[in-house]
Structure 1
Amino acid sequence: MRILDMMTFVTLARHRHFGRAAQELHLTQPAISIRLAAIEQEFGCKLMHRTGRDFSLTPAGERVLETFHLVLENYNLLKQELVNDPAMRNKVVRIGAMDSVSATWLTPFVEDLHQSNPTLKIELTIEGTKNLIDGMNRNEFDIIFAVDPAIGDNFRSFTSCTLQMGWVGSARLIDPDRNYSVDELARMPIITFPKDTPPYRMIAPYFQDEQVLASKLTSCNSLYSIINLLVDGYGVGAIPTVTIKRELKMGILHQINVSKRFPPMPIIGSYQAAGETTLIKRVVEQARLSAARFCATVEPSMAWVD
């Protein structure tokens, strides 16, 4: 749960009025209602009663309000400490990430960093794995999130999360209700990530015959472009299914039932072990937390933390 959600609940409980709470928070009343509904859904119970002009907290709401007050008080104390912490003041962290991370938990990660370290400056770059690792070797990044680790005495690595890869395609090209063999899949046009990337390197072993695929592969360095090509029916592809939750829900894309599952894709964080150790340790810890929180919001089969 975000600090903003807790602040919204506390403000609403104080005013006992959606309009005044929205005015203080510079939000619309529907936005306040949506946040309250999300909080109640997370706790699995009703927190506020509204009957006409009467507005009251349920017993559960009173307990939540008390806890939120304590959390926000500790948060504000921590925030003030960090503002005055020389290790964090006017520091810059250079983050590189592949677009599979950008499409999943990068935004809440950056938001969490800003909330916990208000004076921290963030330089964000979205690139492919090869360019990210090359940048680490040139000392252009403090931390990167890619499919391969940066190797060297000055680097440390960890698995932030793992994304399930799934074969998907448009109904223009595939039958969502049919089970496909590996041979049948191999006869289709295939859209994949660039050569020398881990997903590309998985293709040949998956089909066990690289020559068969030579004329059927189209590679692309942009996840978003791959998704658009899949939606338009130019081919099928194995991509992180969590990145196309919306397309799957809308029926624009469908998971292909195949006899052989495509291997999952770990997202590896690599960081500079020397230099601003206090800063980097905090960034690494926040990355772990943000990735774990994201995984907790999606189907466990799509993304997980080991």
Structure 2
Amino acid sequence: MTVKVKVKDLSIIYDNGDGVRDVNLDIYENEILTLLGPSGCGKTTILRAIGGFNKVTQGSILIDDQEITNLEPEDRPTGMVFQGYNLWPHMSVYDNLAFGLKLRKVKKVEIKEKIKNVLDLVKLPGIEKKYPAQLSGGQQQRVAIARSILLEPAVLLLDEPFSALDAKIRQEMRLELKRIQQDLNLTVVFVTHDQEEAMSISDRIVVMDKGHISQLGTPNEIYDNPQSQYVASFIGAMNFLPTETGQTMAIRLEDVLVGPASMYEQKAEVEAIMLVGHYAILSLKTQNNQHLQSYVTRTESAKYLEGDAISYQIAKYQMYDKKEALQ
């Protein structure tokens, strides 16, 4: 795989001591790499450093083997899409899109053709004369993405671009971004705190914690084999049970198999049944007073009532030592 962006020994330290330290990261050509983590973990700090909006304390950033660490944002081969769209409200969609091309001295005829093509690409044909206030949030974000890709960046940077949208529009925008990225063979660096979003669109995910990379891998690798309890707790729903050895047992909800009281050796009582769309979550109280949750189908959940005695089996689990459990 061709490395498009190389982040080497990167440190960005703020006056209060926060930031990121000694980050090394290779971002491949034509992939969507997502920086995932809670607020303050350093994900946006890295993204803004690649875009030139954060001053680097130490280390270097290369795009296509070219050093860009000290270049101004406008001199970098990157395009940035922010959470708040950043469209000029007094300009039409056409003028918002044309602005960067005009600065590059692109001919009017070519600008018109490029804008028509990019609006077709983001499925917003014919809105050139509208103003941002006349568009929905999802439409505004599509225009913001269109504006960035019009400048043909080597790397597209997106900072929580869908977080202000409602759930249904967010899901649609994820699909649209994936389609656009594949159509144009873009290299995308995406920042989010939403694990579902990261799992759904990413080729690889970087899980961040307190300025460091906790794990880097494909969505399947991170979901199936989290290298730490922190990663396990951040990606997907998980049961955590203390053991007699002082370790912590981590079990995915789908790996807690349930059945009638006589089916499995381990016994429990149904504490609660929560319907969640097409499936349900059973909350269980085990014989030794521990609490477990299990995913079941809606059809299966109808077999149980709160207080019922059932049995269960753990199909798969991971163990984390005591030191890791306290982190």
Which protein has greater RCO, CA pairs closer than 8 Å, 6+ apart? 1
Taking structure 1 as the reference length, what is the TM-score of the superposition?
0.27
Taking structure 2 as the reference length, what is the TM-score of the superposition?
0.26
More helix by share: 1
More strand by share: 2
